[in-house]
Amino acid sequence: MLSMQAKYCDYLEKVENELKILDLHSETTQSFKFDEFKEAIINKELTIPVVGAFSAGKSSFINSFLGKDYLSVNITPETAIATELRYSADEKIEAIASSGSPTTYEITEMASVISKSEQFKFIRLYLNNANLKSIAPLILVDMPGLNSPMDLHNRAIIEYIEKGVYYLVLTSIEEGTLTRSMVRQLLDIKEFGKDFSFFLSKTNLRSEKEVEEIKQNLLEQINDYLEMSKEIVSIDDNGGDNLRKLLDKIDPDELIENIFANPLKDQFFTISDSINTAISSFSKTKNENEESLQILESSLNNLIDEKKRLIQETTDQYTNINVDLIVEKIGRKLLDNADELANKALSSDQDELKNTISEIVRHAVIYEMKKIVDNFSDEIVNKFAIKIKEINSETSDFIIPDLWVDKIADSAKKIANYTDSSIKKIIEDRKGRSDTGNMYKTITTALSILSNVLNPVLELVIVFLPNVINMLFKNSNEQRQKEAVKSKIMTEVIPGIKSNVRNNIPPVMKEQLTSIIDNIGSRFEEAITVRKEAVAEAQKKLEKENTDINAQISNYKNALSNINTLANNLIFKIEGA
């Protein structure tokens, strides 16, 4: 276990112990999700996809690091599949089907597994390799080349857009430039806040002067297209040492912190608010607490009604608007690249043309869906916050203070735009278990929303493309001039793709927008429920005979002080706390 994983788990244990002293009801402690957090933190894997064109030398690069040729360098684009490299004393292969179920093979059956790559999402290659062991929990992934068949490449992109925490990008010296395909890949990586390192491979094939000239050209392209500066590392046919040095610079503890710090801060806010609410309730009369409970219960019911209203009245309207945004974005991106598509068509390579169209569509959907999730989530959060503040205007500021509403709104926005699926996956995995109690709704992240829309869009394109591409190649002898092909792309192919997406995506979009409303509403409901439980818990203790109110208040304040110190030292990093 990493140092930061151990620290976070220790922090959660200590906070949980502080709450146990208060003898809280089990429903209250379940609200704080200690088990889910610990399980997510302990099991978090840090996946490092290695991306590049099929001929960029990714497999050779990884083999050099491993010190042995585990990955075949003779795989064709048609059989390429994302391959996770994991340490294990018992060597084996696990091929993961679309359902997520694994099939185990002997390590000697690698060629057979690769030949059936279309049957799997990805494979896990478990190797008894000291170099893999030394980088754990970092997991290298040999990704299909950018020029692999679009179904294999899209499958890998969708799988690892959520799982990837850092990327290694290779461009061959033979390419000498950033291809449009690579630019789109890098923009997708950047869109979701993921970082990458850039390698120029096969530099032994060019003179030192040529290598420096190409590196300078690449630096300028990265700056122009991505508006960022990057170091370019030159590697020859033995790049393992370069990879080892880079991996040594990646701080897994920092990655863990980036993933879990904000969710833990939100959890701390929920806990501290619950304790403060209870402390205030100890100082109130039974009638005052009952009034608070009634107001909170009324607020909860109003929130539930508001959620139903938004789902019923808003999703149809927003579905049509957002589907149109995606369709128009796809159309504009395809039109912007009409020259490139025409050149691909003139090369008579149908597969390459299909791949390029699929890439452009993928990039357009990623870009537009990120904006849709951000904007729609903010708007829904604000609607819920306004609804609660309307109730608050008629009540005591203690019961539902505006500052508290704003804090919950901020938390809900973070959850809606959270770019890691760890906690979401753990909660999904725990659903249905008899020991989970009152499990809270699954967190829906920006990336999972994207995946749920992107996947069906790309599937539609894959199914639809053969028909529209055939239109370009039909009577090819009459259509060899670029302008004629470009015109056909603009007037028939692009409108056909847009129409196909517009006709088939609305149900998927509506489902995802409904999910956003449901999850954001549930975050507010959860926060009010925690506050309501705190008031009820305090009143229950007040009603017990021989209750020492001052002692109860002192215990709660002491627990809150200890939890504040724990949080300040670790998740807020306040010096001297």
pLDDT of 396 above 60: no
Please name the amino acid found at residue 316: D
Could you tell me if residue 571 is inside a domain? Answer: no
pTM above 0.85, yes or no: no
Same structural domain for residues 76 and 218?
Answer: yes
Question: 48: helix, coil or strand?
Answer: strand
Same structural domain for residues 84 and 178?
Answer: yes
Q: Which two tokens stand for residue 402?
A: 């505006």
Same structural domain for residues 189 and 291?
Answer: no
Residue 207: C-alpha distances to residues 203, 234, 374 (Å):
8, 12, 48
Same structural domain for residues 427 and 299?
Answer: yes
Could you tell me if residue 188 is inside a domain? Answer: yes
- What are the tens digits of pLDDT across the range 136-177? 889 999 988 766 666 666 777 777 877 888 899 999 898 888
Residue 374's H or E segment, with its range, is helix 350-392
Same structural domain for residues 382 and 245?
Answer: no
Tell me which range, 214-223, 383-392, 490-499, is most confidently predicted by mean pLDDT.
214-223
Q: How many CB atoms lie within 10 A of CB 152?
A: 22
Question: How confident is the model at residue 204, as a pLDDT?
Answer: 87
- What are the tens digits of pLDDT across the range 348-390? 677 788 888 888 888 898 888 888 888 888 888 888 888 887 7
Same structural domain for residues 332 and 216?
Answer: no
Same structural domain for residues 324 and 366?
Answer: yes
CA 576 to chain centre: 34
Query: Dihedral of the CA atoms 101, 104, 107, 109 (nearest 10)?
Result: -90
Query: Dihedral of the CA atoms 491, 496, 499, 504 (nearest 10)?
Result: -170
Q: Which two tokens stand for residue 292?
A: 């608070």
pLDDT of 419 above 50: no
Same structural domain for residues 236 and 330?
Answer: no
Instruction: Give me the count of residues in the chain.
Output: 577
Residue 273, CB-side half-sphere exposure with 13 Å CA sphere: 25
Rounded to whole angstroms, how far apart are CA atoms 277 and 534? 6
Could you tell me if residue 157 is inside a domain? Answer: yes
Mean pLDDT of 60-89: 81
Rounded to whole angstroms, how far apart are CA atoms 316 and 321? 9
Mean pLDDT of 274-287: 90
Same structural domain for residues 373 and 233?
Answer: no
Could you tell me if residue 340 is inside a domain? Answer: yes
Query: Dihedral of the CA atoms 260, 262, 266, 272 (nearest 10)?
Result: 90
Please name the amino acid found at residue 538: A
Residue 369's H or E segment, with its range, is helix 350-392
Could you tell me if residue 573 is inside a domain? Answer: no
Same structural domain for residues 421 and 477?
Answer: yes
Over 446-514, what HEC string results?
A: HHHHHHHHHHHHHHHHHHHHHHHHHHHHCCHHHCCCHHHHHHHHHHHHHHHHHHHHHHHCHHHHHHHHH
Task: Report the CATH number at residue 97.
Answer: 3.40.50.300
Mean pLDDT of 445-449: 63
- Segment among 228-232, 378-382, 401-405, 513-517 with least mean pLDDT: 401-405
Number of domains the chain is built from:
2
Which of residues 229, 250, 271 is at a domain's end? Answer: 250
Same structural domain for residues 66 and 195?
Answer: yes
Could you tell me if residue 9 is inside a domain? Answer: no
- Domain hosting 389: range is 284-543
Same structural domain for residues 355 and 413?
Answer: yes
Rounded to whole angstroms, how far apart are CA atoms 28 and 47? 35
pLDDT of 125 above 70: yes
Sign of torsion over alpha carbons 171, 172, 173, 176: negative
Q: Which two tokens stand for residue 326?
A: 């995606």
Could you tell me if residue 36 is inside a domain? Answer: no
